[in-house]
Structures are given as C-alpha cells and as structure tokens.
Amino acid sequence: MADKDGLKVAKDYHVGEAFANQGDFQVKGANGLDWGMKHRLSKIFDPKTGKTVMFAFDHGYFMGSTAGLERLDLTVPKLMPYVDVLMCTRGALRTCIPASNRCGVALRTSSGSSMLDDDLSHEVVAVDIEDAIRLNVDCMAVQTFIGADGQLESLDNLSQVINAGMQYGIPTLGVVAVGKNMERTDKYFKLATRIVAEMGAQIVKTYNCEHFDEIVAACPVPIVVAGGKKLPEDEALTLAYDVIRQGAAGVDMGRNIFQSEHPVEMAQAVRKVVHEGFTDKEAYQFYQELIH
Ligand code: R5P
C-alpha cells in the first residue's frame, strides 16, 4: 500500500474533456463489457440520451413505512410510465409491482440496519445472485460506507456482488452512503466514488456537492445522483439540472418524487431535465402547467 505521507492534492481533472475510452456504447466505462452486461445497462441508460431517471423506493429496507410510500401497490404503478428504472427491494418488487412493465430494475441487495440503530453502516449481502437472475434485474445495488465503522464489510459486500454479477452479466450499482461522520464534501465524494468504481462497480450513486463536475470527471463509470430529503419542487429540479449540467448520467430520486404533492407530474418534469435538455426553470414551468 502506498505511503499516506506527502500525498499531492489531485487537481488535473480535465473537466469538459470527453471520456477517452467511450467507444460506440452510450455508457461510460462500459465499452469493454460483454453483450449481456451492455444490454442490461441499455435498459438503465437510454441508448438515445445515455441518461436515466431511476425512481428509488427502496427506503423501506431500513426505514420501514415511509411517508409517500405507505402503499407501494398504489403509488409505484402510476409512476412507471415516466421513469426508466425502478430501484427497490425484492419484497417490494414481487408483492407490489406488476411484471407487465418495461422499466429496468435496480435491486437493493444489501441490508442489515434499521432506523433504530445509531450506526447504520453495518450491512450484509442479503440477496443471492440466483434470485437476482430469477427476477431478471438489470443491476444490483450495494451500500458502501467509506470512512465509517462498517467500511470493510461494506467493501466486502460490494466485492461479492460485483464478482457474482461479472459471472452472470449483471451490473452492480455501488451506493456511496453518507452518515454522521461522513462529510458531504467533494473531498469525501472524490475518495468514495473512485474507490467504488475501482472496485469494479459499473454504476456509482452519490450526492450532489461542490465541484461535482470534478467528481464526474474522475469517475470512470456513470454517476447517478440521489435526490435526498424532500425539497420544494423548483429546488429539486434545480438539483437535477445542476448535476446533469455537470455530467451526471442521471438521477436516482425518491422522496423528491414520491413525497411531492404531484408525484406523477414531478416525475415528468424530472424526465424533461434528464432526457430533453430542459433547464430547471423550463422544467418547473412545465410542472406548473401540468398541475394547473
Ligand atoms: C439509498 O440509500 C436510499 O435507500 C434511496 O435509494 C436513496 O436515498 C434515494 O432516495 P432519495 O432521493 O429519497 O434520497
């Protein structure tokens, strides 16, 4: 392992310079992957835009019943026409989601903590690869806790899932978690996103922060951004616009869609930003027109 002393600060990100190994495939860092993996990635990242609107409703895996998600069977199907990917647990998928839909599926495969714990950073791999195959999922999501108590076990979980996914052509989505001791700074996210990508995850999920464009530039796989806590709709659209403008490959948004007073209209407005180049203001106007 390299000596930690005397490290130079990374600074040459070449922001704005295109990724050099893109080839002819729309997903960053995926040009050298096998056909099955690329096909699944194409269910996630639209071949026309290279981007994705993922709808996250996996919160129950540690939060239990959450405002806006009390009835998955009623809430989620209405949103499915407007999102590219459903990010959820296998319990939610099998019980509440009709299989007759064309959305991609990002399956939450790690778990082990609950809102009752002080330290949420301890998880295990909770889903066998055989069940992910049976559900025909398009990627498997694993939580990572870089810098937290559960760092080692979460990187072990990530490795196990990536190894299994490589065997069967299923991409892994490495989720960079934030916690009480993990600052939401570009320094932290540069460290964590790069570790997760270099471990072999084909997609990284993280949060917005300062110098987000540098985080994107330094990460050799696509970054999707979590929405985080509920914001007013115009601010959530600004968040989406800011990260897309700076190179995010999409959003993985939950509460800012399902806790909106108008979730279906909000999903459509987010879609305009991600896939159609709308600015935040244009998308908010579109949202306003839809709800009135
Ligand atoms: C991930 O860790 C969570 O379970 C959610 O998938 C994630 O936080 C995205 O949802 P939200 O936009 O509500 O933060």
Please report, in tens digits, the pLDDT of each residue of the chain (292 residues total).
Answer: 677 776 777 789 999 899 999 999 999 999 999 999 999 999 999 999 999 999 999 999 989 999 999 999 999 999 999 999 999 999 999 999 999 999 999 999 999 888 998 888 899 999 999 999 999 999 999 999 999 999 999 999 999 999 999 999 999 999 998 876 677 899 999 999 999 999 999 999 999 999 999 999 999 999 999 999 999 999 999 999 999 999 999 999 999 999 999 999 999 999 999 999 999 999 999 999 999 9
CA of 170 to the centre of ligand 1 (A): 21
Instruction: Tell me what pLDDT residue 1 has.
Output: 65
CA of 5 to the centre of ligand 1 (A): 36
Determine if ligand 1 sits within 6 Å of the CB of residue 104. no
Instruction: Tell me what pLDDT residue 8 has.
Output: 77
Instruction: Tell me what pLDDT residue 55 has.
Output: 98
Determine if ligand 1 sits within 6 Å of the CB of residue 174. no
Instruction: Tell me what pLDDT residue 183 has.
Output: 79
Q: Which burial class, exposed, middle or buried, applies to 65 when counting CB atoms under 10 A from its CB (0-12, 13-18, 19+)?
A: exposed
CATH code of domain 35-60+67-111+118-291: 3.20.20.70
Tell me the longest C-alpha to C-alpha distance in the chain.
Answer: 60
Determine if ligand 1 sits within 6 Å of the CB of residue 58. yes
CA 58 to ligand 1: nearest atom: 4
CA of 50 to the centre of ligand 1 (A): 22
Determine if ligand 1 sits within 6 Å of the CB of residue 218. no
Cα 122 versus chain centre, distance: 20
Q: Which burial class, exposed, middle or buried, applies to 71 when counting CB atoms under 10 A from its CB (0-12, 13-18, 19+)?
A: exposed
**Cα–Cα dist 141/282, whole Å:** 32
Mutate to test the pocket of ligand 1, among 157, 175, 237, 259 (most ligand atoms within 8 A of CB): 175
Residue 205 among the catalytic residues: yes
Asked if residue 143 lies in contact with residue 154, where contact means CB atoms within 8 angstroms, the answer is yes
Question: Any residues with CB less than 8 A from the CB of 281 and at least 6 apart, and which?
Answer: none
The structure tokens listed for 227 are 């929405």
Instruction: Tell me what pLDDT residue 287 has.
Output: 98
Nearest to 55, CA basis, from 214, 216, 271: 271
Question: Any residues with CB less than 8 A from the CB of 49 and at least 6 apart, and which?
Answer: 26, 274, 275
Q: How much is the pTM?
A: 0.96
Instruction: Tell me what pLDDT residue 181 has.
Output: 67
CA of 23 to the centre of ligand 1 (A): 31
Choice among 205, 229, 230, 281 that is catalytic = 205
Instruction: Tell me what pLDDT residue 180 has.
Output: 67
Rounded to the nearest 10 degrees, the angle between the axes of helix 233-245 and helix 263-276 is 20
| Residue spans of alpha helices (H) in 29-171 | 35-44, 60-63, 72-79, 90-96, 129-134, 151-168
| Residue spans of alpha helices (H) in the chain | 35-44, 60-63, 72-79, 90-96, 129-134, 151-168, 186-199, 212-218, 233-245, 255-258, 263-276, 280-291
Reduce the DSSP state of residue 251 to 3 states and report it.
strand
